[in-house]
Structures are given as C-alpha cells and as structure tokens.
Amino acid sequence: MALITGCVSLKLYSHYIPVEVYGVVAVAQQLLNYLPLLDGGFRTTTNREILACGTREGKLGLIRFSQTFYTHLSLLVLPVALVIMAAYTLKPSVAHSGQPRLFFLSVGLTAAISLLGWAQLGLLTGLGEQASFFLMNALNSFAMLVTLWLCLFLGSGVWAFPLSTLGGLCACYPLTLWLMRRKEPAVQIFCFGADATFWKDLRRLWRDAWSCFRLQIFTFLLFSLDVIVVGLICGSATDAAIYAVISRLIGLVRSLLQSTCEAAWPLVAQRNGADHLFASFLLRSNGWFVGSAAGAFVVTSGPFINLYMGAQWAPPQLLVIVLTGRLLITGLSSPPGYLLLGAGEFGTLARYNLRELLAAMILGTLLGMKFGMVGVAAGFLVSTAFATLSPVFYAYGRSVKASGGRFMWQAWWRGGLACAVSFSVGAMLLPLARNAGQIFAVGAAAALTALIAGVAICVFRSRTTGMRGTFRSKVGEVMANI
C-alpha cells in the first residue's frame, strides 16, 4: 500500500507543485523526520522488554512507564519542531521560495502532533499486534493520499502537505486507541504522574535505551542526510527535488523489502534470539527479494519518473545506479541487523552505523562539492560498503557462534543472481513499454521472473540434497552389511 500511495503522491506533486518549490518542502520534511529521535530510544527498548516479559503485571508496568514517558515528551516535541522550522526559513533559498513562514511553522506543528500519535501506535508492537500495526500504517498512507489529492484539487497548494498529515492522523488515531484498549483494557492513554516506579524503570532501561537511541539517530541520518546535503551543498532546489524524488522511491522499495524483517524482530525478541532455523530462512529468502527488486529498479526507475512525472523530474542514470547499489547492500544486510535488534544488540549495531555515518558525512560532502548530487550519492555508497557490506553478518555470526562469512555468502549469491536475472529481463522488456504504467509492469515482471527463478533453484537444490542424502544412506547400509 505504501508503495502505491507513494507513487501516486509523486504524480500529484508533479502536477500541482513546481519542482523548485517541492525541493524546498522536501528538505523541510526531511528535517522533521528527525523528531522521533527525541524519544531517546525508549519506544523500541520498552517494546522489546514488553515482548520478552513473561508476566502480565510486568507488561502493565512497562506499558505505564511508556505512556508516562510519552505524555511528558509531548511538552518537548512541539517547541522543538517549531524552532527547527523557524530556523529553516532563514535559509536564503527558503526565504526566496515565495512560501510564507506560517506555512513552514504549520508543517512543523502537524509533524509534532503526528509524532505523538505514532508514539501511541508504536505500542501495538509491544502488545504483540504487529498485524494491526502494519494495517494502521497502510490506512495512514491511504488517508494522507486522499487528503493530499483533495486539498491539491481544491487549490490549497503547498498547504496540502500539513493538511494531509492531519488527515492521516485523524483516520488512524481513534482506531489505534480502540485496538490498544481491546488488546489491553488497562492501558492509560495519558499518564502525567511520574512516581517512584517510573524513575526506577527509567534507570533500569536507560543503558539499553541509550544504545538504541544512538542506533536510531545514526540510522535516521544515514537514510536522510544525503537529501539534506544535496539541498545545502549543491545550492539548486531542482537538484534537491530530483534527488528527493528518487530517494523517496528507493525509500518506498526499501520499506516494502524490510517489512518482513520488521515483523520478524519482535518474534526474535520473544524467543531471545534462539530461533536459528527461522533466521537462516529469513537471510536466504530476503536475498531473492532484495536482488529481484534492485535489478528491476535500476532499469525502470529513470524512464518511469521521466514519463510519470515529467522530464524535469527525471534523475541521471548514473545517480540511479549508485543509489540502487546502496539499496542492494543495505537490503541484503537488513536481516542480520534486525536479528541483532531482536536479540538486544543495540550497541553493536550503533557502532557499525556510527562508522558508516562518519565516512558518509566526509565522503558525501567532499564528493558532493566536486561532482554534485551524484558525488553525494557515491560518498554514501562507499561508506555503506565500508561499514555494512560484511561487518553486520560477522557480528550476527559471533552472536550465534556460527560463521558470519557463511551467512554473508548465503545472502549475497542469492541477491546477486536475482539482481542479474531481474536486470536482464527488465532490459529486454523495457523497449516494449510506451507509458509509465507499462514501465511499472515491466519492473514487476522482471522482479517476478527473478523470484520464480529463485523458487526453481530452491526446489532443485532441495531435491538434489534429498537425493544425496538417500544415496549416502544406501551406501551406509551396504557398507554395514559388508
């Protein structure tokens, strides 16, 4: 659902919003995406503790702590969002964009209100309602899209952005509260009293929350800072808009690919990271999915944007290749990362992400000043290859006392083969496409072909393994008789 609504929203932007105006708004939205970091990592930490807790009383205590924490956090989020937007309007390109300061303050205000609503929604994961959590995500995307289209159609212009945020919140928040109360009737929505138990839980969870916070802030920066760097260094609102659009598409694809891993880590947390058979399946199947998506994306995304949004929005093919390379690396590395997350290895993941972030900031800035937005993307790609290509696999291998190199090989030969198959099929079919819908169909067909090839290879390998096992057993019987 998020992928479809994201593509439709991009079409609305190209039809109703000038490219240079969208470039200014996109950077503002990216800055506000850092607001969830204000929770200090306590949402993920408390959710994991709730899932691992074996008693109802313990779960209720953690839920009360979480609700009290977020009630007081709301007093901080609102002014911070307004300060960020007020400072952003001082940038010359923003001041000359023709958009009033009140608009940017409204974007900050609605983002803060939405964050507080999503903080409540995140508790569904701790309550074991992952399916409801993803359902609410889909509903929010759909409600925001409908509100965005209606506002743009009625001529509201850029004001459609904050109004669409409110539309999604109004559609999801009441239903979220009902789902929470249905799962746990004792849940309090607002808790203003911070008693001794709250401070005791705060001290107990602080260390894990700090490690989780560092992981979250590094992750947020890694997947959003490049857009801001392009907007600040390149000095072109058009470049920022183009980069933001292709990054938005990649983000939608990445979100779709990681949905299985996001749903899996709570299960790992409940089992304390002990289900190695499930982990192996996740690593292998993810390789096929990520590789097939990456191969199709690198072929079709540029022509798709060109026909779907207009030539002025189309990214250079070199930029698409570089960004897709980073998508492939991060996608194939996501299962061991989420498995470590489920096992509570926040500190380990934070160290790797810090290395990647430092390298990305240095290389992205230097190459961006020389080669523009392609240089920024290349700097982030090199940093990702440096810090994520193999270390995460080896860290997971050490955590389960197995070979990290074997895990890496299992993911990468599948991902590489799927990418090659998908790319080849997409390249052959692309000349037949005449419009954006047909290009999208070509990408889907290329990815599906790679997945079918993966299933065929898995079936062949399983039968071959079974035949080998039968042969060995027969040989063993003969030798025993001799």
Region of 208 (left: φ > 0; alpha: ψ -120 to 50; beta: rest) is alpha
pLDDT at 271: 61
Q: Which residues contact 92 (CB under 8 A, 6 or more apart)?
A: none
Alpha helices in 343-435 (DSSP H): 346-371, 373-387, 391-399, 404-429
pLDDT at 308 over 80: yes
Quick one: pLDDT band at residue 52, thresholds 50, 70, 90? confident
116 or 428: whose pLDDT is higher?
428
pLDDT in tens, 339-387: 887 777 878 888 888 888 899 989 999 998 888 899 999 999 999 888 7
pLDDT at 196 over 70: yes
pLDDT at 1: 58
Q: Tell me if residue 345 falls in helix, strand or coil.
A: coil
The DSSP line for 277-318 is HHHHHHHHHHHHHHHHHHHHHHHHHHHHHHHHT-GGGPPPHH
Name, of 35-44, 105-114, 233-242, the range with top average pLDDT. 105-114
Q: Tell me if residue 36 falls in helix, strand or coil.
A: helix
Region of 433 (left: φ > 0; alpha: ψ -120 to 50; beta: rest) is beta
pLDDT at 469 over 60: no
Q: List the chain domain ranges.
A: 1-208, 223-482
Quick one: pLDDT band at residue 291, thresholds 50, 70, 90? very high
Q: Which residues contact 453 (CB under 8 A, 6 or more apart)?
A: 417, 418, 421
pTM, entire model: 0.70
Q: How far is CA 254 from CA 257, 270, 290, 326, 478, in A?
A: 5, 25, 9, 11, 53
Structure tokens at 281: 């399946």
pLDDT at 480 over 60: no
The sign of the torsion formed by the CA atoms of 186, 187, 193, 196 equals positive
Of 3-7, 135-139, 204-208, the one with minimum mean pLDDT is: 3-7
Report which of 294, 375, 360 is spatially closest to residue 333, judged by C-alpha positions: 294
How many CB atoms lie under 10 A from the CB of residue 379?
24
pLDDT at 474: 41
Of 16-30, 412-426, 444-458, the one with minimum mean pLDDT is: 16-30
Q: What is the C-alpha to C-alpha distance for residues 405 and 338, in angstroms, rounded to an integer?
A: 18
Structure tokens at 169: 């919140």
pLDDT at 299: 94
Of 2-11, 167-176, 217-226, the one with minimum mean pLDDT is: 2-11
